[in-house]
Amino acid sequence: MTEWLRVGAPALEPAWFEEVRQVLASGWLGTGPRVAAFEQAFADHRSVPVERVVATQSCSAALMLALQVAGIGPGDQVLVPAYTFAAAVNAVHLVGAEPVPVDSVAGGVVMDADHAAALIGPRTRAIMVLHVGGAAAPIAAFAAIAARHGLTLIEDCAHALETRSAGTLVGRQHFSCFSFHATKTLACGNGGMLVTPTAAEAATARRRANHGVAQEAWQRRLTGPPADYCVLSTGFKLRMSDVEAAIGLPQWPGIEARRGARAQIWQRYRAALAHLPITLPVADAGHAHYLFSIQLPPEIDRATVLDQLSAAHIGAGVHYRALTDQPGLQDCFGWRAQTTPIATAAGRATLSLPLNARMGEADVARVAAALTRGIDVAATA
């Protein structure tokens, strides 16, 4: 049977499995020494103090913690990109605040800073910005808006572990949230990371992510009676486990090499697809090359193209259908697709192709052939 090419597939090496075996053999599967080592590796990669980072179950958990630590809750409004995944709006909703969708820039998918500024009102407390697909958002513009209005800025870096802006890794100054989901460029199966502006805020987030308990069980084992504990606030269970950390730990040394491999695949795609009537993505030197998302013209039915790709055992993704174009969110918040027309149009046309460091020239050629066939079928349907 023809092997499936997936949108995101981790480039795991068999030698790395030993790290997981050691965790299983230790009997300590919860938050412990591997999570601490993973936090240190992350901090080293980004050149931030480890006291400011908190490993979480997911990027969604990190987003919710950032909002909680910033004191955002019922009665508050948070600006969110209309072009993003539901995790952003869910995090805002779960802390009791109201999400306000912001349209994308003309001809693109990045959140529009001018539209965000125009939506700020007396209840606005924060701006959440997504670095889409590995490209850096104009974070300086959003930081200026946030500073001018006294708002919290939250960077959603789920796609941007290796993304740079002006030569510097993004997500190092503000509340920043990262993903280590199974499809990400460093994949732990599940997992996330929160970077906070201060160590004190990280300590609050760590406690909130552990049911409000002052110390995690591993810390209590090292410092005192492990059975005793002290609850200092309310909270959730949102911390990463040692099993997830063990999957991710061996992946840190090769992170830039894998980024380089994806960049080569990106360029092969651009050459192989240049003849098609589609809009191809562009990348600068700081791009993480996480997603290769094309835009289909309006006359090409995306469902038909997706069917043809699936028939060829080629996975594809939709990143993203606009939040305002999602029926469940329309019912919940009274949103309408026409309120964010640019994001809506992009979300109805986008299609992400397989991209991972293990792909070769033959894989790119196979995808290009299937996509060409799919567009031809859709054009004549």
User: Catalytic amino acids?
Assistant: 184
CA separation for the pair 62, 9 (Å, rounded): 23
> Which one, of 375, 368, 293, 345, lies nearest residue 8 by Cα?
293
Letter for the amino acid at 299?
A: E
Residues 6+ apart with CB under 8 A from 40: 50
Six-digit token pair at 206?
């760590």
Contact predicate 80/100, CB 8 Å: yes
> Strand 164-165 relative to strand 98-102: parallel, antiparallel, unpaired?
unpaired
